[in-house]
Each structure stands twice: as structure tokens, then as C-alpha cells.
Structure 1
Amino acid sequence: MNAPTSYGRSGLIVFASALLLAACSSGEGAGKQQGGGRRGPSGPPQVGYVVVQPSSVPVTTELAGRVTPYQMSQVRPQVAGIVQRRLFKEGEVVRQGQTLYQIDPSLYQASVAQAQANLQNAQATLEAARIRADRYKPLAQMQAVSQQDYTDAVAQARQAAAQVAQFRAALQTAQINLRFTRVPAPITGRIGRSLFTEGALVTANQADPLAVIERLDPIFVDIQQSSADMLALRRALARGGTAPATATVRLKLEDGSDYGATGTVEFTEVIVNESTGTVTLRARFPNAQNILLPGMFVRAVFAQAIDTQAYLVPQAGVSRDPKGNATVYVVGPGNKAVARTVVADRTIGQNWVITQGLAPGDKVIVQGTANLKPDIDIKPVPANTPQKIEPPKKGQGQGGAQTKGGSQAKAG
């Protein structure tokens, strides 16, 4: 009976000692955790910054535009008659001077023949009048005929010469009208559908053209810009800090794809459209593949000026408040985070363009911004610097507590 009693007492003593050591170790570990929260064992948060300097940034504008042909000509008849033949294929490219329609020339051929006969009659009359005047001249000098008869003969010769000139002009008119029975292409370009068929009667003053020819390479794009935006741009150019840019234009097609080839701005209208309040800018583009067609809507992207006092900040460093205002954090005195309200109205690539709110040499925080608050302590390093992770020191964390507890147990 004594042996089991003695063994049970020894077990109770060992169990009580273990509970005492565990309580001491837990209390000491809790004290370390509370003390570490006050001291911040990891220190101030590390953030990455970039040093900003003013740079030249193009002021890019995207505006709506409509495609218009480089040249357009309406094919119209200049004489009346019946269309005998159509000498082109609809939709093909025609050359300047190429005959497109043949109008019945029979009446105009007769007019030419009549004018030629009238001219020959007038020339015969002129020849007789001149011979008579030449014969009267010596007779008048000898007073064989009266001076008045000689004067009348000279006047008749001059009238006959004038009549010859009139009939010659009439012949030229008849020949021109005969030539107009062949309707040529005024310009080189792509011709559309024919609005009149063979057998149709056409006149010189008709409302509808026979067809329309358009030159599509190169081609124009008329861009509409509000007069207020143009006025603001001119004021910025006059104020300084903004320089004019080269007028290179890129296009976005109706399906959102890029056109590929670039164009140049040819000129700007000097008047404002009263109904829309816009000014028209005309750009010229190459169009060898005929991708751009007249009447097509496009979006024109081009730089009208260059802002020489803008700052480029990575998009990760710019945030928006509930009101939509742009905000950045900069490294302030004493390595504290300072919030700045800036003006960021557009992007270029992966950067925001900051036009107000920054100064040369500011250190803008672009990494580690998730938990930043104004005026907190930070550890600034240049952006993309790798973070150093140190191993836990001896005596810290769970492993240290167990080790110290083990030593206490050994000491106990």
C-alpha cells in the first residue's frame, strides 16, 4: 500500500511543476507581444518613390471626323440630246479626258456643215468686195469715179470681212457643240453608278448629273473641334509653357481599329459653324487601299501642342477621392507621407500627366501606397528597390519563448 501512495505523490508534484512553468512562459510571451505592438517591431512601412522633373508632353486631342474625297466632280452634259452609248464600267477608275457618254451627234454635225457653208459664202463676198475696192482706188485718184463710190466700196469690203469673222466664230461654236456630244471625265478617279441609261434624253441645264467621280487617294478627313477648346489652346500658346506641335494625325476607324497610316493637318477654317459652334480642321491621308470611303465617321487623334511643364507619374502613384480629385503622396520632411491634390486629366501610356500640384524634385510615392495615411512615418527608398526581410532575433517569437521556457524548466 505504501509504494503506490508514494508513486502517486511524486506524479502530482511533477504535474504541478509543469503547470507552473507553462504559466510563467505564457505570461512572459504575452508581455513580449504587448511590448512589440507599442514599439512596432517591423518599423515604419517601406515605400518606393520616383523623383519627378518637368518634361515635354504632347497635348493629345481625340475628335470626331468625317471622310471627304480629295477631289469630286459631277459629270454633266453641256448639250442636249439622246444618250447613245455609255463607255465605262460603273465603279472603275476613269482617267481625265476619257469619254464616258456618247450623245447623238447628228444635229450638231449638220450645224457644223451649215456654219462651214455660211463661212465660205462670206469669204466669197469678201473677196469680191476687196477686188472692187482695189479697182476704184486708182479711178478715184484720176476722178474717173466719184470719191463717194470708192468710199462705199471700201466700206463694203470691211463689212464682208466682219461677216467672215462672224461665220468663222459660228463654225467654231458648232464644232464645240459637236465635241460636247462626247462627254469626257473631268478628273481622274473612281466613278460611281450611272444615273442615266442609254436612250435617255439629257439637257445642259438638268438638275441631276450623269455620274459622280471621286478621287480617293489621297483623301481628306474633316475634323470638328469646338471653338472654346481652340480658344483655350491659343491662350495657352500665348501664355508660355506650351509650344506648337507637328500636325501629325492618327485615325481610329468605326470598329475601333487603328487606320495605320498617319496624316497631316492641311489647314484650319477661319469661321465657326453657327449651328454647332465648331471649327473644321482638314487633314490629308494616303488611301492606296481605299479603306477610307467618303462619308465614313472616324476618330482623329493628334497633338495640337506640347506642354513643357508637365510631370509624368506612374498610374500606381495617383488615386482619386470620392469627389474625383486626383491625389498623390510625396515624401515630406522627416520622412513623413504628405498628401497632395494634383490635376491629372489624361494619361500617356502607363503614366498620368500632372499639370498642377507638383514641383521639380518632389519624391512621389508609387509603391506601397495601399495603407498610406497623411503624416505617418515612412521608410522611403527609390522605386523598385527590393525589400530586405531580416530573420527574427533570438528570443523573439514562439521559438524564443519555448527556448527560454525550456531553460527555466532546466533550471527548475
Structure 2
Amino acid sequence: MTNALPRLSLVALALAAALAGCSDQNQAQQGAPPPPSVTVAKPTTRTITDYDEYVGRFAAVDLVNVYARVSGYLDKVAFKDGEVVKQGELLFSIDQRPFQVALDQAQANLERTQAELDFAQSDLQRAQTLIDDKTSNAISKQAYDQRLQSERTARASVAAAKAAVHAAQLDIEFTDLRSPVTGRIGDRKVSVGNLVTGGAGGANTNTLLATIVSLDPIYFEFTYDEASYLRYQRMVKDMGDKAQSIPVRLQLIDEKGFTHEGMLDFVDNIISQDTGTIRGRATFPNPDATFTPGMFGRIEVPSSAPHQAVLVPDVAIGTEQTRKFVYVMAPGDQPQVPTMKYVTLGRVYDGQRVITSGLGTDDLVVVNGLIRIRPGAKVVGKAEAPAAPAASPAGASTGTPAKTPAN
């Protein structure tokens, strides 16, 4: 029994050797596997504009806090909370009766002073006639001067009375508070019947009644760093007259692309010493009131003039630690080892990645099949087939394709 075990082991080894020999013989007969194939294509070129993205928020062009100009009891509220009001539309009314009494008193005082002026003028005219008569001593020079002074005093009293009437009329006009701008009004801060304080006391003492914000157009404010500011200043200098209107694009938090277009219209004149940033502002049309003050969004600001750029599909780019690369091949269908080129990346446009450096326009780039490439192994590069044109629906007209915003 002991001698049988070594014999079985020798038999097993012999069988394994025979099988291995058969496998090697079959592989030799079949030959080595062919090199894998990859798809190659030249980079595309297109005119693009580089953009920087910033987060900011909307702000109203006009923001008005409505305060009363006169003090009194609130008599009427003529709007609904949150509605859009037109410029000149009535908002609040204050009880006019005390101001009407003051106006009546001022007008009565004006009539009294006017009567005094009429008498003083008649008295002065009589004195003037007497003093012009050189043969008569009916009036002295002192008496004439006194009548002249009385006429001037009466004239000044009339002017003061007219000013008082005008002030009383203004107070009555101020009892009706009208919207100074067109925009959306907030909720009322005071109900009918409450005493409101107005006048020249300012916001610390006067009663705030409501707040109005304009809607169309609307501002979008954002901040950017000092380095970006210098880059923009140089770009604006190179653009010359075209820099007077710089277009920008906007994306809301629930949107996929930068679909809203506006114009950059203001850059602050001071860089903040606390944050090292400067404030910029763009204006956007808002006819349907989609934007509202305080809302956040993302803005794209041009950081370069339009220029030619080299682009490759984003899937053609590989990563080696912190560096990015693409594989390039020589023309022809013969098997060859791809060459690795390190590149510097830019933005993505319609699925195409901008290559800012490291790649030429005549290079054949591996755009499909990167996972088949092994270090030192040969592959066969096949030209990428041209994309088939998309079929248009029956009756549909073709035109310029819509420009897709940058991601």
C-alpha cells in the first residue's frame, strides 16, 4: 500500500506534463492574438470665449421705504399686500380734516394781510402826492417814511401768508401717499386707525408703512478677487469701444444652463481691504418677474476675447496622479505603441474639452478605447466615422442650432 502512493503521484505528474504540452502546441498552432483597435481623430477647433463663474444675488434697481410726510391717523389702505403697483398709484390716505382746518386758517390770514397791504398802499400813495407838492407842508418826511415802512411790512406779511397757504396745501397733498416707482409692494406695516408719525424726523422717528421694490429691469450683484479684476481690466483695454457693453449669462439654482442674458454695467471703484474682492453688477431684463431681489444665482462673466481653441472629447482624457494626458498616434493602420502627451485643460463645451496647451491641431488623438491601451503594447488606430446627420421631422424647418451654454 505504501509503494502505491508514489506510483500514483508519478502518473499524475506525467498526465499534467502531457496536457501542458498539448496546450502549448495548440497556442502555437493558433498564433498570438491580434492587437486591439482604438478610434482616433484629430482635435476640433472652434471660436470660443472663456468665462468665469461667480455666485451672487439679485438686487432691486429701486427700493423705496414708504414713510408718511405728515403725522395723523391712517384712514385708508388702497392696495393688497404683495401686488404690483404703478408709479403714482394711491397707497395710503391719512385723515385730511385737521389739515383742511389749517388750510382754511392760512387762507383767512392771507385775506387779512392782503387787506392790510391794500390800505398801506393807498395810504402811501396819498403821502406820496402830498410830499411831491413842494408848496405845501402837509406831511413831514418822517411821516412819509413811516407809511412807506408800513407798506413794506404789509407786503412781507402777504408773502408769508401765501407761503403758509402753500404749506397747508402741501400737507393736504401729503395725506395721500402714492407710489414713487412701479414695482412690487410688500405687506402693510400699519393698519387703518393707527397714528402714523411723519415729517422731517427721518427713519428713526417716522413710521414705516410699506416697502416697494422695482422688478424690471433688475440688478445682479457679485464679487470677484483682485487677480480677476486685473485680468478683466486688461481685457477691457484690449477690446476698446466694444468694452462699453459686455454680455453676461445667468443660471438659477434649479436650471441646467446659463440661459438668461444680461449686460455688465458697473464695477465698484474700491477693493475691499477686508476680503480683497471688488463688487460687480449686471443688469437683466425681468418682464415676467421671474427674478426677485435677494434670490441667488450663478453668473458667467467673459474672461477673454473670442479666440480659436483646440477641443477633444472629454472621454479621451486620462489621469496620471495630478496630471492629465491624451494618447496620440501616427497616421496609418499599422500596429503601433501610442504616445502619451500631457495637456492642460480648459472648460467643457458641448461635451468637448478645451486643451489650452500640449496638443496640436494635426495630432491623431485616441478618442475611444483608452481602456484597451497597455504600457508598451501596440494597438491599431482606426479613423473615427463621421457622425450621421440628425433626421428632421417631416415639415420641420432647419436653422442655426441653439448655442449651448458652458457647464
Q: TM-score, normalised by structure 1?
A: 0.75
> 1:175 pairs with 169, 178, 201, which one?
169
The aligned counterpart of 1:284 is 283
The aligned counterpart of 2:343 is 342
The letter of the residue matching 1:168 is K
- Report whether the alignment pairs 1:211 with 2:210: yes
- Report whether the alignment pairs 1:299 with 2:298: yes
The aligned counterpart of 2:43 is 52
The aligned counterpart of 2:329 is 331
What displacement does 1:264 show? Answer: 2.7
State the distance in 2 between where 1:152 and 1:130 align: 12
What displacement does 1:83 show? Answer: 1.0
The letter of the residue matching 1:327 is F
The aligned counterpart of 1:73 is 64
> 1:87 pairs with 78, 81, 98, which one?
78
The aligned counterpart of 1:252 is 252
Q: How does 1:124-135 map onto structure 2 within 5 Å?
A: 124-135=115-126
State the distance in 1 between where 2:363 and 2:27 align: 43
- Report whether the alignment pairs 1:147 with 2:135: no
What displacement does 1:52 show? Answer: 3.2
Q: 1:53 to 1:92 in 2, by over 3 A?
A: closer
Q: CA RMSD in A?
A: 3.2
Q: 1:271 to 1:332 in 2, by over 3 A?
A: farther
The letter of the residue matching 1:181 is T
The letter of the residue matching 1:338 is T
- Conserved? CA contact 2:235–2:304, under 8 Å: no
Deviation digits for residues 266-306 of structure 1, max 9, x if unmatched? 32223233444333322233333333222122222453434
- Conserved? CA contact 1:188–1:215, under 8 Å: yes
State the distance in 2 between where 1:259 and 1:376 align: 44
SS at match of 2:321: coil
State the distance in 2 between where 1:262 and 1:302 align: 11
State the distance in 2 between where 1:178 and 1:30 align: 108
Q: 1:195 to 1:31 in 2, by over 3 A?
A: closer
State the distance in 2 between where 1:179 and 1:58 align: 55
State the distance in 2 between where 1:273 and 1:225 align: 10
Bigger Rg, structure 1 or 2: 1
State the distance in 1 between where 2:347 and 2:89 align: 52
State the distance in 2 between where 1:309 and 1:218 align: 34
Q: Which 10-residue stretch deviates more, 371-380 or 289-298? A: 371-380
> 1:188 pairs with 156, 162, 182, which one?
182
The aligned counterpart of 1:198 is 192
What displacement does 1:247 show? Answer: 1.2
What displacement does 1:327 show? Answer: 0.2
The number of residue pairs the alignment matches comes to: 353
Q: 1:130 to 1:376 in 2, by over 3 A?
A: same
SS at match of 2:49: strand
Q: 1:93 to 1:234 in 2, by over 3 A?
A: closer
- Conserved? CA contact 1:249–1:265, under 8 Å: no
The aligned counterpart of 2:220 is 221
The letter of the residue matching 2:315 is A
State the distance in 1 between where 2:236 and 2:194 align: 60
State the distance in 2 between where 1:363 and 1:228 align: 36
The aligned counterpart of 2:371 is 370
What displacement does 1:168 show? Answer: 0.7
Q: 1:219 to 1:235 in 2, by over 3 A?
A: closer
Deviation digits for residues 315-359 of structure 1, max 9, x if unmatched? 122111122x11011225996522111111421121111111123
State the distance in 2 between where 1:307 and 1:260 align: 19
Deviation digits for residues 109-133 of structure 1, max 9, x if unmatched? 1211111112111111111111122
Q: 1:129 to 1:373 in 2, by over 3 A?
A: same
SS at match of 2:187: coil
State the distance in 1 between where 2:23 and 2:311 align: 54
Q: TM-score, normalised by structure 2?
A: 0.76
What displacement does 1:246 show? Answer: 4.5
What displacement does 1:176 show? Answer: 0.7
What displacement does 1:379 show? Answer: 4.2
- Conserved? CA contact 1:224–1:280, under 8 Å: yes
What displacement does 1:364 show? Answer: 2.1
What displacement does 1:210 show? Answer: 0.3
State the distance in 2 between where 1:215 and 1:373 align: 63
The aligned counterpart of 1:163 is 157
